[in-house]
Amino acid sequence: MKRIYLVSILLIAVLGLISTNLFAGNWQRAGQAGASQLLINPWARSSGFGDANVACVTGYESMHLNIAGMAFTKKLEVGFNNSQYFVGTGIQVNAAALAVRVGENSVLGAMVEAFNWGEIDRTSEAMPEGGFGTFKPGYTVIGLSYAREFSNSIFGGITVKIINEHIDNLSANGFAFDAGIQYITGFGKDKAGNRKRDNLHFGITMKNVGTTMKYSGDGMSFVGLSPTGTSMSVENRSQEFELPSLIKIGFSYHIKLAAKVDEEEETVYSNHNLAIALNFTSNSFTNDQFHIGLEYSFMEYLFIRGGYTYEKGLYSVDNCMTAFSGPSVGMTLQAPLKKKEEGTKYGLNTTSCSTRPVIGVDYSYRFTNVFGGVHTFGLRVTM
């Protein structure tokens, strides 16, 4: 046990040391990093929560927000999400993920995100209006994750990501990793395997720390004429750019409404649950953000959530640095795949995970200042 706590303390210390150097960013550095797709949340449940649930996110969505939450996967969770990004632009973000328990305390996961920008007309100096074909740019992020339950209260994990960007004849590749911890104020389990008195959650995660990226390819060169009239090939150099590193720190509080006590099982359960979450994001290349989220759940069937994200200059026409206006909403409908066993009180634990296999449909909407907002739809199976 001492070893577990020592590892956790050391990891938190490392995060703190890195943050003093890497994460001292401000608005003056905005636009100096690339690979901004790493900041986009492609998942419906956590985006509807306003990205506030760093301390209590679970399942495969943890691979974007805080990988430590993937350790709560019971057996298997698989899902697919589609985002209609800035409705009216034609941009789509598709994401698929898988999380599977491979041991008593370990979970492995994999995810892929693909951005579809549609077809863009080819242009040139001679033909600036195009008319000679199209090309498809693309962003792809592939991640492999490992999460572990170190004790009844401490959970941790790490994600390794491969990043690719490409247009017609240029591409850039990068490598990054995320690391995170969740801590729950509770200990022990009841006879049904549900956790006791775990209503307060803390979480910290470090994201997008990795190599610089640089574009290369045939698009960096062109054939021109020298002063003597002979043809020559000219190749331009591409400037390296950094990844948008950040740190998130949050906590959540979970309330069982109209709670009932089961003396035989020595536990408290409820059909109505409420989760309140707060989170602070320290961005290295743009404004810091504050997130607040609220989620209500009825048994295992219905989840209604909302969130709000604030950053400096959000209400200023001249100084606003984001297209999002702040609010987000979402909901989940799910149906159990297994009948309730006689004498068993199924319900939700305080991490919003079902205690039996379910199939669920997730949805979120993020409000924006321009275009028609962001719709995200998801289909999920949890075993």
pLDDT tens digit string along 282-300? 998 888 999 999 999 998 8
Task: Report whether pLDDT(340) > 90.
Answer: no
| Beta pairing partners, 278 | 251, 292
Model pLDDT for residues 162-195, shown as the tens digit of each residue: 999 998 888 999 999 999 999 998 544 544 455 4
Domain ranges for the chain, please list them: 2-127+134-382
Rg of the chain over Cα atoms, rounded to whole angstroms, equals 23
This prediction has a pTM of 0.85
Average pLDDT value for residue range 198-204: 88
Q: How far apart are CA 299 and CA 256, in angstroms?
A: 11
Kindly state the average pLDDT of the residues 227-251. 82
Q: Give how far Cα 364 sits from Cα of 197, 293, 307, 374, Å.
A: 30, 13, 10, 8
Q: Which whole number is the average pLDDT over 212-223?
A: 82
Tens of pLDDT along 20-65? 444 444 566 666 778 899 999 999 999 999 999 999 999 999 999 9
Q: What is the pLDDT of residue 24?
A: 44
- In angstroms, the Cα distances linking 371 to 91, 312, 343, 377 are 11, 22, 52, 18
Query: What average pLDDT score do residues 190-212 get?
Result: 77
Pick the CATH number of 2-127+134-382 from 3.10.129.10, 2.40.160.40, 2.70.70.10, 2.60.15.10: 2.40.160.40
